[in-house]
Amino acid sequence: MVDKQNQEFDFNSMNFLWFLWKWKWIILAAGLGAGILAAIFSGPAFITPKYRSSAILFPTATNSISRALVDETAGGKQDMMSFGEEAEAEQMIQILSSSAIRDHIVAKFDLMNHYDISPRSRFAMTELHRQYRSNIRFRRTDYKGVEIRVMDHSPDTAMLIANEITEYYDTLTNAIQKQRAREGMLIVKEELRQMEQSIWDDEDSLRKLRELGVHDYERQAEMINQQLAIEIARRNQVGINALNEKLDLLATYGGAYVSIRDALEFEKKNLSNLRRAYKKARMDAESNVPQKFVIDRAYRAEKKAYPIRWLIVAVSMFSAVLLTVITLIVVENITRFNRAKELQTVQG
């Protein structure tokens, strides 16, 4: 049984080789014809060649200069020299893909005319955005970096667009963060103003209490009581009356003095924290720091990246040969079937 199957396999294999040899000129002509046509239609006359330029960036671990330089509680991940992780890389891609960067690039390089799109076209913006997404892409690399890849029919334009996106990323990110930092700074500034006014009011109240004779409630009360005991022992009524008047004064204003003094001490501690917070907010609102590490800047490509003509030719030739062989097999089997049917009809 096995020998029979092997013989049948050998027979079928030999038949196939004989079949290929029989139709070799047609198969060869189909492959060569497809290759020639593919080489022609993949040429510059039919497909505009494109050049590719790429830039590699790494995000920073922190975007806050105050947290990196001033905040004493920040850990190692807040070091402004540290590279970002996957989350920061994803955030970078989101910003790079934003309409703000797209609109900036479209305006700076006049991509509407560069892509030969008529502004009067009904779907001009749709086509422009489609071309932009097709030619400018962003992806995360295997090492937590971000690649900016630009394809264009001009190698110089591809390089310039990739480098412009790299530079404008800092401008856009700083603008977004500055807007939020300014809002925070204004909030802290108003709180700081109110706190300073409250402290000034409390100090003014303490100044008036001191004018009345209340300077240090606890120490004054202790000293007056000690002196009162002495005067009582001496039976000095004049001294006793004078000291009682001072005690009455302390009893009247002492509680207010202690309350204002303690509140003032607490407010001064908060004032110090608010000033520190305002300093950080102002630093974030006024600073311009790089938001990424540039590993590779884009350079002018010397060879086109699209189309890959040899691959188009190879795939076209293989497809043509395969389709021709399948077509010939079908035609030959149909012919053989019709002959067998005719032979049965004659014999019948």
- 227's CB contacts (< 8 A; 6+ apart) are 239, 243
Question: pLDDT tens, 22-34?
Answer: 888 888 888 898 8
300 — phi, psi (to 5°)? -70, 120
- Pairwise pLDDT comparison (39 vs 73), residue with the higher score: 39
- What mean pLDDT is predicted for residues 38-44? 76
* pLDDT, position 79: 59
Q: How confident is the model at residue 157 (pLDDT cuts 50, 70, 90)?
A: very high
**Distance spanning both ends of the chain, measured CA to CA:** 34
The full set of domain ranges for the chain reads 51-182+288-296, 184-286
Token reading at 342: 């005719």
State how far the Cα of 304 lies from the Cα of 306, in Å rounded to an integer.
6
Instruction: Tell the CATH topology of 51-182+288-296.
Output: Bacterial polysaccharide co-polymerase-like (3.30.1890)
* Mean pLDDT, all residues of the chain: 81
What's the chain's length in residues? 348
State how far the Cα of 217 lies from the Cα of 106, in Å rounded to an integer.
73
Question: pLDDT tens, 44-78?
Answer: 767 778 899 999 999 887 666 565 555 555 444 45
Token reading at 207: 């100044």
Query: How many Cβ atoms sit within 10 Å of the Cβ of residue 257?
Result: 21
Predicted TM-score (pTM) above 0.85: no
- Which neighbouring-strand residues pair with 139? 147
Q: How confident is the model at residue 88 (pLDDT cuts 50, 70, 90)?
A: confident
* pLDDT, position 86: 82
The 3-class SS string of 175-188 reads: HHHHHHHHHHHHHH
